[in-house]
Structure 1
Amino acid sequence: MRKISQALICCILLLTCCGQPERAPEEVRVRLQAEPETLSPVSYSDAGALQIINLLFQSLLSADLGTNKVKPFLAAELPVIQQQDSLTLFTYTIREEATWTDGRPVTAADVAFTLKVLKAPLLNNESMKPQVEFIQDIRFDERNNRRFTLVCAGFAPEMELLTGDYFILPSHVFDPENLLQHLRVADLAGSSSKLENDSKLKTYAARFNSAEYGRDPNLLQGSGGYTLENWVNGQYLTLARKKDWWGNNTSNTQHLTAIPERVSFQIIPDITTALLALKNQQLDVLENIPAAEFDQLKQNENFQEHYALFAPDAYEFVYAGINSRLPKFADKRTRQAIAHLLDINSVIKVSQQSYATPTVGPIPPSVPEYYNANLKPFTYNPDRAIALLKAAGWSREQDGWFKTIEGKRQQLSIKANYRAGNTNFENAAIILQQNAAKLDIPVQVQAMENSLLSQNLKAHEFDLFFRALSGNPFVFNFKPLLHTSYAAAGGLNYTGFGTAESDQILDKISSTAATEAEKAALLKRLQHIMHEEASFISMYYQKDRLAVHRRFGNLKISGLKPNYDVSAFTLKKE
């Protein structure tokens, strides 16, 4: 059966590849796990679509995977920031060389049009609208049609990135009849429900929300270095390099690249099929390789003659949250005892096959300037857990640990919740259950549908939960997650973490333009408080796993998704 199945898979791969355009010398073939529903730069919904859109369109600012730094892309430089009472002004200038596919210049009017699309009612912009909600208006420079100022409400450190982190659309392509021209960005600040009956907006929404706006190559014409060449449903998408792309004519912009002649995205949902295609050299890049298979590839000398393997530190971390509002968990020593029973190293070994790094807080260890290396991650230590429980007033009896709380005798028990279907969280919960059982602490492990789990967390109806958070190396504003002002029901501070000092630190980080040294000191102190309070317990940062064919160089391997910059790939000389 195994041989027949493999033969069938080989036939499918062969037929798929034979139906594609002839492979160009500089073509890069990448696996897509799922076919994108849309390539709309506004309403895309998956990471594969985002990777493709990044080659077609550009934002004002973006991440350079070669340095993991935010750099100007369409913008000529980072914005000039000016705070005015309750407003903050961000002034941008678009690069003089920047043009659309048809050679027309990219102007401030295109930015204004894009903001209208992102903010207007009736349009499919639900995922992007909250990101630009703070942008109240746009002011044009009468002397330079590439220069403009965004008027924003309030100030937060992440605003600099958010003001430039959305794809700019060509207004003459997306709205040739100027149906949105009568609207102003300021009209869309706050509630804009009154515009839902606007006839021109309704006409435009009907067009914009149609499938063609996310599939038509004639509409998907951005300022990036590639155009959509072919899209064969269920098989592949190919992007062709523009012949005279404006990014080739800029200086000191190594992060603006469009080097491979063609990038071909192969739609292969099954990982076994994808691995076979990789071993047959029908793929040049494969990411999200399962840990066991990745280890096997590391031992395969023949495979490594053709492919290089990478395991970069990702920016997604797993943490455990303890409900510090509950009387039984109110004493931080009780929470610290539980932290010493999590056995993070065993969780990493079982769940990640060691492809993860323990962490003392939400700052990645791969960002040493902000990571508090003086702290040590919690380790499995039952003796320390016993001492902490006794210090917190618990007494060990024949059938468990007990304590009188608010006049009532209460037993220490834990309900550990996690999202159903996530084996990593399940393994962590079971390891905690086994370790706690050795100390006569009952732990009930319960999987929940994600919507129910989220509902319970917002309502504070939980003991302990496991979850993951995605971040980046640019913005470290944890106020919504950790400030006590967000600890009420419905807020994002599920655990109830917070002290007067931690609130002050979070306020300073989120409201002032601190120097790098000040910011580092504040973040390291915050990690110390979090470690001491042990209600939001950071466990580990994951590592990604990918393979890239050795005929390519300049890969820009990064912990940021998709972990490499395919636009920068260069073909090595024989």
Structure 2
Amino acid sequence: MKELIENYDGLESNRELKKFASQFNSEKFQLQKEFIKGSGAYELESWEPGISISLKKKENWWGNQLADRNLYFKGIPPRITYRFIPDSTTALVALKASQVDVLRNIKSIDFIGLEKSEKYQESFNSFTPSQLECNYIGLNHANPKLRNIKTRQALAHLVDVEKIIKVVSYGMAKRMVGPIHPSKINEYAKDIEPYQFDVSKASKLLAEAGWVDLNNNGTLDKMTDGQLIELELEYCYTAGSDERKFIGLIFQEEAKKAGVRIKLEPTESLRLIEKIRGHNFDMFYGGFVSSPSPSDFKQLYHSESYASGLNYNGYMSKKADSLIDIIRVEMDEEQRFMLNKQLQAVLHEELPCIFLFARNEKIAIHKRFKNVETSILRPCYWVASFSLKD
């Protein structure tokens, strides 16, 4: 590794290395099963784009001898077939007809309906493991309306997260105070009090930020550079997502009570990505999947990541930058946990975004299987350990 780092510039122009990289990234290593290999228990058997992928168990796989040590060394099914069913209604029909053995990412409302069905209960078990993720409402700090910290804090008090969890997620979500998942008990800042839904407190903060209703139209405003600016904000979300739409509607209804007008803007996925990457938004519904490895938020919340990283909110904070830089090189685990708690406190106060919750996955697995294990890691179950009941 030391040699690679010291000779990095020379490696960039190394012909043999460039030739290898070009070959390794060629189409055959992406599409031809003879060249798609990995160290896991299964290999590609067949692939019908947009329809299905079939995997078969490798012969004489090296991990077989370790099967008793760890769940992830088990490879019991001789073949695993994944079907692509993009339409949720069609997927439910296939599940109810037992045409599939496992279905994940079921909508909350559909999941509740399934559990009320006697026919479903006869054939399937339900699982709701927490997901290692973070859902949030992104705030564009480059927008003059959102630059004031008190305005952002007021908006956080206008998002009724508990109501959203109850009404939209049917209770199947865990509230978060920052980007670190509560399952990371050593570094999750459990002492931070989440923003409570409070219209009065929000109104007070908005007044302190200079927002009034000068033209008496029911929407707060203020004079900026000689112009009257109304506190109107667009909430962008992926078109077709009922969950994100309903969250926006709840936010819109409650914010109106404090004089904040929110316009819902359903946006096609590719267009939404363009808007977010171009920092061309007021607010957007976002989320990311985290990992069990040590937390590193350089890409998300460091000022250096605004132009070319994932800091789409335009969040600039010397406090956060300093903590992130220290955390990245700190080798002492306990010290790193403490620093991450400090970082969460800064993010909670300054609000690069409004942190919401981590959803529970909703999974149905046929009762004919045993050795069923769920996990916080996606896809939240380990199918290679499944075996048929006697």
Q: TM-score category by the smaller chain?
A: 0.7 to 0.9
Question: What are structure 2's unaligned runs of at least 5 residues?
Answer: none
Q: Which amino acid is 1:226 matched to? A: Y
1:497 equivalent in alignment to 2:315:
yes
2:42 alignment partner in structure 1: 226
Identify if the C-alpha distance between structure 1 residues 408 and 224 changes in structure 2 by more than 3 Å, giving closer, same or farther.
closer
Q: Which amino acid is 1:555 matched to? A: V
Instruction: Name the CA distance, whole Å, in 1 between partners of 2:13 and 2:32.
Output: 31
Shift of 1:470: 2.0
Shift of 1:316: 2.8
Identify if the C-alpha distance between structure 1 residues 152 and 569 changes in structure 2 by more than 3 Å, giving closer, same or farther.
farther
Structure whose alpha-carbon radius of gyration is higher: 1
Instruction: Name the CA distance, whole Å, in 1 between partners of 2:51 and 2:274.
Output: 39
Q: Which amino acid is 1:538 matched to? A: F
Q: Which moved more, 1:494-503 or 1:260-269?
A: 260-269
Identify if the C-alpha distance between structure 1 residues 554 and 209 changes in structure 2 by more than 3 Å, giving closer, same or farther.
same
Alignment of 1:55-134 (within 5 A): 89=2
Q: Which amino acid is 1:328 matched to? A: K
1:417 alignment partner in structure 2: 236
Contact kept, 8 Å, 1:356 with 1:540, in 2: the verdict is: yes
Shift of 1:451: 4.3
Shift of 1:382: 0.7
Contact kept, 8 Å, 1:459 with 1:490, in 2: the verdict is: no
1:472 equivalent in alignment to 2:291:
yes
3-state SS of the aligned residue for 2:220?
strand
Contact kept, 8 Å, 1:458 with 1:490, in 2: the verdict is: no
Q: Which amino acid is 2:297 matched to? A: F
Instruction: Name the CA distance, whole Å, in 2 between partners of 1:498 and 1:187.
Output: 32
2:61 alignment partner in structure 1: 245
Match of 1:484 among 303, 315, 338: 303
3-state SS of the aligned residue for 2:255?
helix
Instruction: Name the CA distance, whole Å, in 1 between partners of 2:157 and 2:348.
Output: 12
Instruction: Name the CA distance, whole Å, in 1 between partners of 2:17 and 2:199.
Output: 61
Instruction: Name the CA distance, whole Å, in 1 between partners of 2:196 and 2:345.
Output: 16
1:373 equivalent in alignment to 2:190:
yes
Give CA deviations for 1:133-189 in whole Å, capped at 9, x if unaligned.
xxxx7xxxxxxxxxxxxx458xxxxxxxxxxxxxxxxxxxxxxxxxxxxxxx97994
1:321 equivalent in alignment to 2:138:
yes
Identify if the C-alpha distance between structure 1 residues 440 and 471 changes in structure 2 by more than 3 Å, giving closer, same or farther.
same
Contact kept, 8 Å, 1:327 with 1:405, in 2: the verdict is: no
Match of 1:275 among 68, 81, 92: 92
Instruction: Name the CA distance, whole Å, in 2 between partners of 1:215 and 1:340.
Output: 53
Contact kept, 8 Å, 1:309 with 1:548, in 2: the verdict is: yes
When the two chains are superposed, the root-mean-square deviation of aligned CA atoms in Å is: 3.4
Identify if the C-alpha distance between structure 1 residues 235 and 392 changes in structure 2 by more than 3 Å, giving closer, same or farther.
closer
- Percent of aligned pairs with the same amino acid: 32
1:265 equivalent in alignment to 2:78:
no
1:304 alignment partner in structure 2: 121
1:558 alignment partner in structure 2: 375
1:23 alignment partner in structure 2: none
1:440 alignment partner in structure 2: 259
3-state SS of the aligned residue for 1:431?
helix
Shift of 1:391: 2.3
Identify if the C-alpha distance between structure 1 residues 324 and 279 changes in structure 2 by more than 3 Å, giving closer, same or farther.
closer
Match of 1:507 among 325, 342, 353: 325
TM-score, scaled relative to structure 1: 0.60
3-state SS of the aligned residue for 2:171?
coil
1:209 equivalent in alignment to 2:24:
no
Give CA deviations for 1:234-259 in whole Å, capped at 9, x if unaligned.
76554443453322224744431212
TM-score, scaled relative to structure 2: 0.84
Identify if the C-alpha distance between structure 1 residues 201 and 450 changes in structure 2 by more than 3 Å, giving closer, same or farther.
closer
Q: Which moved more, 1:322-331 or 1:466-475?
A: 322-331
Instruction: Name the CA distance, whole Å, in 2 between partners of 1:494 and 1:229.
Output: 40
Contact kept, 8 Å, 2:234 with 2:281, in 1: the verdict is: yes
Instruction: Name the CA distance, whole Å, in 2 between partners of 1:540 and 1:520.
Output: 21
Contact kept, 8 Å, 1:557 with 1:565, in 2: the verdict is: yes
Instruction: Name the CA distance, whole Å, in 2 between partners of 1:317 and 1:333.
Output: 23
Shift of 1:448: 3.4
Instruction: Name the CA distance, whole Å, in 2 between partners of 1:236 and 1:326.
Output: 44
Structure 1 outlier segments of 4+, above 6 Å: 185-188, 194-198, 232-235
Shift of 1:349: 4.1
Greater relative contact order (Cα 8 A, min sep 6): structure 1 or 2? 2
Identify if the C-alpha distance between structure 1 residues 308 and 350 changes in structure 2 by more than 3 Å, giving closer, same or farther.
same
Question: What are structure 1's unaligned runs of at least 5 residues?
Answer: 1-87, 90-136, 138-150, 154-184
Contact kept, 8 Å, 2:11 with 2:17, in 1: the verdict is: no
